[in-house]
């Protein structure tokens, strides 16, 4: 049995524009339109637009919505008000990661969850299963929404001039609902690039119209290729690489999104507390290599002759012009400044443990 | 439409050999560079290294992926194209002009099992 590949509402446009298409998370998605470097630089220096309609959406409503959302989420939704957004994870009881996600606080009994495309079926089943003992309604809404991400230093200007949406009132990780062509859309100041930018959730017909307006205005369409190089440089994890059922947010050193002491606890809380107290056997670190050779996912990391871990993501960074990587390594060798090495085919290259955030993000706080 | 040059030998994994006397210049074809996209790094062997027909001798890398280089012939590396160390994108500009290694061929009969330009053209469907 092969599962039929899915498409987003913008699929025909990507094909007509000559994008290189490839399956990702069950969807036939654009990898690049021109080339990764051009698209990457458009986002870093000007503006670019991504089709991220493959992302999943789940709305949780009802009297227990706040209590339930906080119970399945590592961050603390009691720290935000309506109109604000939090990033965090859903965990298994052992601390392994179900998914990483955004939670939009619509109001006190209404939370909008944005989840990874590859995990939609798994996440929805997981959320439904956990919801049994709570007075909530879990509404899977992925089919209702197309989504675009407008990213880059000129994003605010582009939103205003091209899409006629005023976003000057939005700060980083806030959102608003507004009427557009007679329908309610969601606009948030969020993204996955390390630049200022916005994400728009709307009816697929509206998303298609917005895409056409952006293309007519000459905005660079960007594929998943540069989405990965951009998020990587900014130190952001990709589910499947840096966070997995085996890699907890504690091991991945994203503990800042895990609120161990919040009221009511959450699934995976005790495992995380133990991991934090005892230290996980492995931890995620940044590595900087000498030379231009490129460390790729799965390559071995060595301490002398011993294999001490593997690369989770690596590139020759476009914005920094050097080879850098995330690697999951033995905690004992993961101290900043430590010298390790990476096996790249037949050769071994020295690598220094550095901070994971290679590029300093330019968010509008 | 990719460029294909008559008189060269071609492998199924998209390398070419340009033979001059006892030496072969090995690179990737124009079709291969186009499929790969912008080359950002070329992993090359060193002079005096041995290469073996059908075995990898390095890699060409785009931003997204590494692609192994398979040697179409056996022999000893006598020169590597050092210009590619600083400017790997030369391969995209002209893949046939910018060979990767120069090899002293140890068995010229290996060339017989490679494709000529017409056969390679058929293989890539152009």
The answer as to whether B1 is a domain residue is no
Secondary structure class of B7 (helix, strand, coil): coil
A221 has which bridge partners?
Answer: A49
Nearest CB among B43, B62, B65 relative to A345 is that of B43
Q: Angle at the Cα of A39 (from A36 to A41), degrees rounded to 5?
A: 105
* Nearest chain B Cα distance for residue A314, angstroms: 10
Q: What is the reported pLDDT for A4?
A: 85
Q: Is B66–A296 a contact, with Cβ atoms under 8 angstroms apart?
A: yes
* Nearest chain A Cα distance for residue B21, angstroms: 30
> According to the 3-state scheme, what is the secondary structure of chain A?
CCCCCECCCCHHHHHHCCCEEEEECCEEEEEECCCHHHHHHHHHHCCEEEECCCCEEEEEECCCHHHHHHHHCCCCHHHCCCCEEEEEEEECCCCCEEEEEEEEEEECCEEEEEECHHHHHHHHHHHHHHHHHCCCEEEECHHHCEEEEEECCCHHHHHHHCCCCCCCCCCCCEEEEEEECCEEEEEECCCCCCECEEEEEECHHHHHHHHHHHHHCCCEEECHHHHHHHHHHCCCCCECCCECCCCCCCCCCCHHHCCCCCCCCCCCHHHHHHHHHHCCCEEEEEEEECCCCCCCCCCEEEECCEEEEEEEEEEECCCCCCEEEEEEEEHHHCCCCCEEEEEECCEEEEEEEECCCCCCCECCC
Residues of B in Cβ contact (< 8 Å) with A32:
37
The answer as to whether B113 is a domain residue is no
Would you say residue A218 has pLDDT above 60? yes
Per-residue pLDDT band at B7 (split at 50, 70, 90): very high
Nearest CB among A292, A318, A344 relative to B63 is that of A318
pLDDT more than 90, % of chain A: 97
* Range(s) of the domain holding residue B92: 9-108
Sheet holding A137-140, edge to edge: A85-91, A97-107, A110-115, A56-61, A137-140
Residues of A in Cβ contact (< 8 Å) with B55:
none
* Nearest chain B Cα distance for residue A70, angstroms: 37
Q: In chain B, which residues touch A (CB < 8 A)?
A: 37-38, 40-41, 43, 56, 58-59, 61-66, 68, 85
Distances from the Cα of A45 to the Cα of A37, A39, A195, A266, B50, angstroms: 12, 10, 9, 40, 45
Beta-carbon-side half-sphere exposure of residue A346 (alpha carbons within 13 Å): 12
Would you say residue A1 has pLDDT above 50? no
The answer as to whether B34 is a domain residue is yes
Neighbours of A321 (CB within 10 A): 8
What domains are defined for chain A? 11-52+145-233 (3.30.1360.120), 56-141 (3.30.70.1400), 281-354 (2.40.30.110)
Nearest CB among B37, B41, B56 relative to A293 is that of B41
- Name the nearest CA neighbour of A138 among A118, A110, A115, A119: A110
Give the pairing type, strands A220-222 and A48-51.
Answer: parallel
What is d(CA B97, CA B27) in angstroms, rounded to the nearest whole number? 9
**Mean pLDDT across A264-279:** 97
Which residues touch A165 (CB under 8 Å, ≥6 apart)?
A: A159, A178, A180, A187, A200
pLDDT in tens, B35-85: 898 999 999 999 999 999 999 999 999 999 999 999 999 999 999 999 999
Q: Is A36–B64 a contact, with Cβ atoms under 8 angstroms apart?
A: yes
Which residues touch A3 (CB under 8 Å, ≥6 apart)?
A: A26
pLDDT in tens, A88-135: 999 999 999 999 999 999 999 999 999 999 999 999 999 999 999 999
Nearest CB among B61, B64, B68 relative to A225 is that of B64
The answer as to whether B72 is a domain residue is yes
The answer as to whether B74 is a domain residue is yes
Q: Is A31–B66 a contact, with Cβ atoms under 8 angstroms apart?
A: no
Q: Is A293–B56 a contact, with Cβ atoms under 8 angstroms apart?
A: no
Instruction: Specify the pTM.
Output: 0.94
Q: What is the CATH number of the domain that holds B85?
A: 2.40.50.100
The answer as to whether B2 is a domain residue is no
Would you say residue A51 has pLDDT above 70? yes
Q: What is the reported pLDDT for A3?
A: 67
pLDDT in tens, A171-210: 999 999 999 999 999 999 999 999 999 999 999 999 999 9
Residues of A in Cβ contact (< 8 Å) with B41:
292-294, 316
The answer as to whether B116 is a domain residue is no
Mean pLDDT of chain A: 97
Beta-carbon-side half-sphere exposure of residue A215 (alpha carbons within 13 Å): 17
pLDDT in tens, A303-346: 999 999 999 999 999 999 999 999 999 999 999 999 999 999 98
Counted domains in chain B: 1
């Amino acid at each position: 049995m092969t599962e039929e590949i899915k498409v987003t509402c913008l699929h025909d446009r990507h094909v007509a524009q000559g994008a290189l298409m490839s399956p990702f998370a069950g969807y036939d998605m654009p990898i690049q339109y021109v080339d990764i470097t051009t698209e990457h630089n458009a986002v870093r220096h000007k503006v670019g637009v991504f089709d991220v309609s493959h992302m999943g959406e789940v709305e949780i409503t009802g009297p227990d919505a706040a209590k339930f959302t906080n119970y399945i989420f590592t961050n603390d939704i009691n720290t935000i008000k309506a109109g604000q957004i939090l990033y965090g994870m859903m965990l298994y009881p052992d601390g392994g990661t179900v998914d990483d996600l955004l939670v939009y606080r619509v109001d006190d009994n209404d939370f909008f969850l944005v989840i990874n495309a590859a995990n939609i079926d798994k996440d929805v089943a997981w959320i439904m299963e956990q919801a049994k003992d709570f007075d909530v309604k879990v509404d899977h809404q992925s089919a209702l929404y197309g989504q675009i991400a407008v990213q880059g230093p000129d994003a605010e200007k582009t939103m205003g001039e091209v899409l006629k949406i005023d976003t000057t009132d939005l700060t980083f990780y806030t959102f608003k609902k507004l009427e557009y062509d007679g329908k309610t859309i969601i606009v948030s100041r969020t993204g996955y690039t390390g630049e200022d930018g916005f994400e728009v959730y709307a009816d697929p017909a509206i998303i298609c119209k917005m895409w056409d307006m952006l293309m007519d205005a000459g905005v660079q369409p960007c594929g998943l290729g540069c989405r990965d190089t951009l998020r990587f440089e900014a130190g952001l994890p990709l589910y499947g690489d840096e966070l997995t059922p085996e890699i907890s947010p504690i091991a991945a050193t994203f503990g800042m999104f895990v609120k161990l002491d919040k009221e009511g606890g959450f699934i995976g809380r005790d495992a995380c507390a133990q991991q934090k107290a005892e230290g996980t056997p492995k931890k995620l670190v940044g590595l900087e290599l000498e030379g231009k050779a490129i460390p790729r996912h799965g390559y071995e990391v060595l301490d002398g002759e011993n294999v001490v871990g593997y690369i989770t993501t690596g590139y020759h960074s476009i914005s920094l012009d050097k080879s850098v990587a995330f690697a999951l390594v033995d905690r004992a060798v993961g101290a900043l400044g430590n010298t390790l090495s990476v096996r790249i085919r037949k050769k071994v290259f020295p690598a220094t443990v550095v901070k994971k955030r290679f590029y300093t993000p330019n968010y509008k706080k | 439409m990719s460029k294909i040059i008559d008189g060269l030998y071609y492998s199924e994994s998209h390398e070419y050999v340009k033979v001059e006397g006892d030496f072969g210049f090995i690179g990737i074809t124009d079709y291969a560079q186009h499929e790969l996209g912008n080359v950002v790094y070329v992993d090359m062997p060193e002079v005096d290294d041995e290469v073996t027909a059908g075995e990898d001798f390095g890699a060409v890398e785009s931003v997204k992926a590494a692609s192994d280089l398979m040697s179409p012939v056996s022999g000893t590396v006598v020169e590597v194209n050092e210009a590619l160390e600083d400017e790997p994108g030369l391969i995209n500009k002209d893949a046939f002009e910018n060979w990767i290694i120069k090899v002293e061929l140890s068995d010229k009969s290996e060339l017989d099992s490679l494709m000529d330009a017409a056969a390679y053209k058929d293989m890539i469907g152009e």
